Structure 1
């Protein structure tokens, strides 16, 4: 995942629970004045970054600031509104080991840990093992950002303790020697979404890095939703409502899904039709999903996200 622009932001439950990961808002660990804004943005996951957005010489200071915020009573989203996450440095590096060691020593963990540069199950399992027995274990997500990781997805998805995966388009494009265009990214995105679905895990799409091209952000988010991603990362609060709208079922989607469920209930298990289209078990399952997401408060466009988009 490419480093968020340092100036991008305006100042101003138990493991296993399936909270919607629809919107992630990431902020660099070198900007502690923006941590509270990120946590109160209305994003499903407020992600503080210790990796790519933090220069090598600022790693220790960023770690201290992030962990200080984590230990503060205000350093968590309000109950039921989202999760606090930290992208650590790769556990194959000294800084990554320091990230894990300090959290373990203090038994101080966020709700979610994002592990970068994952290319094998051991990259995930090392972090899971480091967290075991040192306080409530966070959900551990893998950042998939290289062709080698895409090739090894079947093994990575079987990693013990893996809770979800996130796609890093910028690093993938650099490693693959390709452009970061929709066409170039279609294959790795599709493969990752399919592998995650096969493993029963959520997948979240890479950030969209242009802050001014709202139409392109909306189109990329819609395409990610079509591929089966559960959400997308934002690098600015004003991107959140656009992403939420792309992933939330529309009114017409919900009405069509309810029509399918009503027809299925009347048919009592038999194949039936709705508006001239045949309805069988796969469409009924999809309709249940649409209606369920429509009633999930974490998938409805939030008032806070709308306020952030307006700069309030």
Structure 2
């Protein structure tokens, strides 16, 4: 089992596993199209949903730059165990497996052990959505099989009793994004669930980017353009980054002034990252995983 450290950044479109949903998701060209076996499926429909999801994942021959994924049920539940066995039996390849309710690295290790014999290139990601998980981020992120993390705002708010507002989630979101960055792991912010509030989605996605998340979840294809736009540098940011890099290059790496701003090495690194983001129109793929 090799170390998995990279999952796709960008847009993660989460959809129920019923027939036709995956094809519709792929037409929207998210960075990850994730079929959901957990929250969007009633307990009585879990077995049917599992079979439908795996059939769709096996049947898709070409899906361009979009990575395919599956959100299983929590491994500590009966349906979670059934999901993992079914995924192992299906011998899926190059698939993102999102594990909910993760609270320890041991849970991720167990998932990897189940899948490693039959699945190759599987990228295991953790859904961080409980207070206990927030207190154990260092342990969870230390797992060598972890390829990325997703924040689950709705479950976190329900578990803590906090409101699902911007300010009430700052600490949780900032903590996840910061620890992910420290470990070189992509971090995906929780979806915005109000489909009738595009301006709210825009603000929420912009805040996710400001906090350091590398992508954001979506629950409808119509949300993807706004999320993509929020994660791209603005024209003003690109112009400022060009000015910073040009001034720094001319100064030979010394501290220099660009407009009203004093520019040192950290700002130059940030400016180059802005320019890289502005000029990168390719979509990432899953790297690493279980071999």
TM-score past 0.5 threshold:
yes
Corresponding position of 1:77: 63
SS of the residue corresponding to residue 285 of structure 1 reads: helix
Corresponding position of 1:10: none
CA RMSD between the two structures: 1.9
SS of the residue corresponding to residue 32 of structure 1 reads: coil
Corresponding position of 2:46: 59
1:283-312 per-residue CA deviation (whole Å, 9 max, x = no partner) reads: 11111211111122247xxxxxxxxxxxxx
- The TM-score normalised by the length of structure 2 is 0.92
Corresponding position of 2:9: 21
1:124-144 per-residue CA deviation (whole Å, 9 max, x = no partner) reads: 111122222323131111000
Corresponding position of 1:32: 19
Equivalences, count? 283
Moved segments of 4+, more than 4 Å: 14-20
Which whole-Å CA distance do the structure 1 matches of 2:104 and 2:6 have between them?
A: 24
1:232-253 per-residue CA deviation (whole Å, 9 max, x = no partner) reads: 1111111111111111111221
Which whole-Å CA distance do the structure 1 matches of 2:124 and 2:155 have between them?
A: 20
Which whole-Å CA distance do the structure 2 matches of 1:62 and 1:35 have between them?
A: 13
Which whole-Å CA distance do the structure 2 matches of 1:154 and 1:164 have between them?
A: 14
Corresponding position of 2:34: 47
| The one of 143, 155, 158 aligned to 2:127 | 143
Contact 1:20–1:298 (CA under 8 A) maintained in structure 2 = no
Deviation at 1:227, TM superposition (A): 0.4
Mean CA deviation greater in 98-107 or 174-183:
98-107
Corresponding position of 2:276: 292
Structure 1 pair 291–20 and aligned structure 2 pair: CA distance change class (3 A): farther
Which whole-Å CA distance do the structure 2 matches of 1:109 and 1:91 have between them?
A: 20
Q: Tell me, which stretches of 5 or more residues in structure 2 are unaligned? A: 284-291
Contact 1:40–1:77 (CA under 8 A) maintained in structure 2 = no
Which whole-Å CA distance do the structure 2 matches of 1:250 and 1:19 have between them?
A: 25
Tell which has more relative contact order, 1 or 2 (C-alpha 8 A, sep 6+): 2
Structure 1 pair 175–19 and aligned structure 2 pair: CA distance change class (3 A): closer
Which whole-Å CA distance do the structure 1 matches of 2:242 and 2:231 have between them?
A: 18
